[in-house]
Amino acid sequence: MTDVNARIQDLIDSNDVVLFMKGTRDMPQCGFSSRVAGVLNYMNVPYQDVNVLSDADIRQGIKDFSDWPTIPQLYVKGEFVGGCDIITEMTLSGELDQLLSQKGVAFDQAAADKIREANA
Ligand SMILES: N[C@@H](CCC(=O)N[C@@H](CS)C(=O)NCC(=O)O)C(=O)O
């Protein structure tokens, strides 16, 4: 395993939910990252943000690791879930709630319901 792969593996092993993003959870620097961080923040999902803009090795390494060409990338309990489009769809369909529940990750169900109501 390369050094960067080991670092990524360590991040996703040590945190139930990890968002590889541009910027930080409180100051995203890209609209796609901002959307996913916004959903997680609003739903009160506990997660670790990893700013790929401050680490070029991770920025490339996470794309190779997941075999997914873009940022953001969300991992839940060690599994790659998707980027902005996928997370948006899963949020609106309720699949994200299901996944988090199945994996035992806490979140605010009322907030998740509100997102769907607002987008109905
Ligand atoms: N359709 C993508 C949008 C994300 C995207 O296009 N990200 C681009 C621009 S922020 C990206 O990561 N490009 C490669 C890079 O900047 O390293 C998704 O669903 O996440």
- Using pLDDT thresholds of 50, 70 and 90, give the confidence band for residue 1: confident
> What is the total count of domains within the chain?
1
Ligand 1: centre distance to CA 83 (Å)? 8
Ligand 1 pocket, mutate which of 20, 29, 32 (most atoms under 8 A from CB): 32
Q: What is the mean pLDDT of the chain?
A: 98
> Considering only CA atoms, which residue is closest to atom 14 of ligand 1?
70
- Using pLDDT thresholds of 50, 70 and 90, give the confidence band for residue 74: very high
Domain of 81 in residue numbering reads as 3-118
CA distance 92 to 90: 5
Q: The CATH number of the domain where 111 resides is what?
A: 3.40.30.10
**Residue 30 annotated in ligand binding:** yes
pLDDT tens digit sequence for 32-43: 999 999 999 999
Residue 49 half-sphere exposure, CB side, CA atoms within 13 Å?
21
Mean pLDDT of 46-64: 98
ipTM of the complex: 0.98
Q: What is the pTM of this model?
A: 0.98
pLDDT of residue 113: 98
